[in-house]
Chain A
């Protein structure tokens, strides 16, 4: 009942949006598709929701082929596109009612499924959807995508443009939906959200870089990684990038994540080097790799 994708390729004119993508999403899994804008996430979603034909390869969703059985898929999946795609001139309740009706159901019939989400926007049920805040729009869109009790839920960048509190709530809701037996494929450009998935696929330029659990992805980071800090962030990054032994230098919050190309790296040497560049308050300490580090390393 999950999703199975094998050797999917898709091109637009001369841009290769997806190149030989294969992976499986297990039934009842919360699977994350992590990658920057333009990585091909939306194209993959559109192929899986039967909106686009793949150039090559096959895929099944809930056991149905995305090309041959598109009608069955359209009955059994919920899809929330990246852009807010509800009727802005209809109220919250009218939107929900409309989507319930076209899927041949009613709000009451599946109310328990959306209850947790809908109660939060119910006080605004007479407000036009266009006048909702970003977080409330997402909740309404999710409610509409769920109203017909789909077996598989596709969420394309559901948290883009949503405030941090709403983002957190949103992911908690996804966890609860998963417990109700729904398979969820979610895409996001936010690396911190990847840790909340059961498994993630890192995707860039239409290729899958790695597929694993978030923990395994972090654990398999090949090198020791260091947090480097100083009084002058800009100067620090420039100096590190000039350093002849650097392997990777990425700003990460108030620190810079640094890896060295040597196997016998001694932090003291780096400290001396940075001091010679007139930087003060230098901090260097080893840290845990994050999914972002892995992504940057793989994308190199």
Chain B
């Protein structure tokens, strides 16, 4: 049953079909406000949230002071603390009993308790004690506060001792490389970028493929000369475009709003991002082959992809401090490798010669997911 060959030839017909399909996908995306919002609203919201709100740094922490001594020395120390940008002295208390109550009211995060005759003890006995009490309901913050307060006290002590030479001294010279100011946004940007690319690519594709199944249009597409791979590629291409746009938006936001440096090559960053986008799309296709409804696809994407990305990729919790079994599991999470690559390019500014191993792993995973989903994609309903 040879049909009349159309004027534009075989390859032209193929491309025309393909373009028609992609056009239809764009209609779907742009007419569905919700998916548009997820596509473009979420990346911006997330990056701003993580950048501004969720941070490990401390700034202007409220503290209270209980000064039993009230002498020159304590005043000097208090002034030093008040002058730092990390703390602001919220109130002065006078009784031990007040310590518990200020914590309970949640007014302050820490209380500094100077012993009686602090200044005199320091001069007479060369030894005086100060108690630092912190609210450890948030252990990380409590730790940071203690460290900062200690640092200020030591600084003061050094000033007092500047005329005295101590016989043996170890002076540690610490230097934090790649992120000297310890800005947490440097840590979050690669993570957020990973989450968003994963979510947009995997969740949106799996939802859009299962929607065809759910609404019965897949039945018609199957009973048409479109080949399965044409359907899949047609579904995927619009999301590749959109994900690339998202990646660009995220990088721009982090450069211009958070002054995040991109030390390495932008081209390499782009290529690696495209690779990860394709990995995620392949995962999305795989999810769509095992789920019958949009809801299932969404649940699998959220639970199966989001959680591991957040918990096990090293985005928030360092992999090296995880128990061994989790460290092993983290290796099969594509996001882990992408975050390593991103950090390496953006913060360390390294080239391909240092990240070829991670790239190869990601590439291998992509090929595996694509092969699996092609194998699982059904050309019939059963």
Contacts and interface: CB of A to CB of B under 8 A. Distances in A.
Interface of A: 46, 49-53, 62, 70-72, 74-77, 79, 81, 83-90, 94, 97-99, 101-105, 144, 151
Contact of B216 (A76, A83, A105, A144): A83
A52 B380 CA distance: 6
Contacts of A52: 380-382
Contact of A102 (B17, B216, B381): B17
Contacts of A101: 16-17, 19-21
A89 B31 contact: yes
A79 B223 contact: yes
Contact of B222 (A51, A76, A83): A51
B316 interface: no
Contact of B24 (A98, A105, A144): A98
Given A75-B3, A75-B225, 17 more contacts: A50-B222, A51-B222, A51-B223, A72-B1, A74-B224, A79-B219, A84-B216, A85-B217, A85-B219, A86-B220, A87-B27, A94-B24, A98-B23, A98-B24, A99-B220, A102-B17, A104-B3
Contact of A49 (B24, B28, B32, B223): B223
A144 B220 CA distance: 10
B6 interface: yes
Max chain A CB contacts within 10 Å: which of B17, B220, B223? B223
Contacts of A102: 17, 20-21, 221, 224-226
Max chain B CB contacts within 10 Å: which of A74, A81, A97, A144? A74
Contacts of A98: 20-21, 23-24
B16 A46 contact: no
A46 B224 contact: no
Nearest to B3: A75
B275 to A, nearest CB: 30
Contacts of A83: 216
Given A52-B380, A98-B20, A101-B20, A74 B225 contact: yes
Nearest to B13: A104
A89 B25 CA distance: 11
B255 to A, nearest CB: 36
Contacts of B379: 70
A229 to B, nearest CB: 43
A97 B23 CA distance: 11
Nearest to B380: A51
A50 B380 CA distance: 7
A74 B223 contact: yes
A70 B223 CA distance: 9
Interface string B238-254: 00000000000000000
Max chain B CB contacts within 10 Å: which of A72, A84, A90, A104? A104
Contacts of A79: 219-220, 223
B215 interface: yes
B24 A51 contact: no
A46 B217 contact: no
A82 B359 CA distance: 48
Contacts of A46: 381
A235 to B, nearest CB: 45
Contacts of B217: 85-87
A62 B223 contact: no
Contact of B225 (A97, A104, A144): A104
B224 A89 contact: no
B223 A77 contact: yes
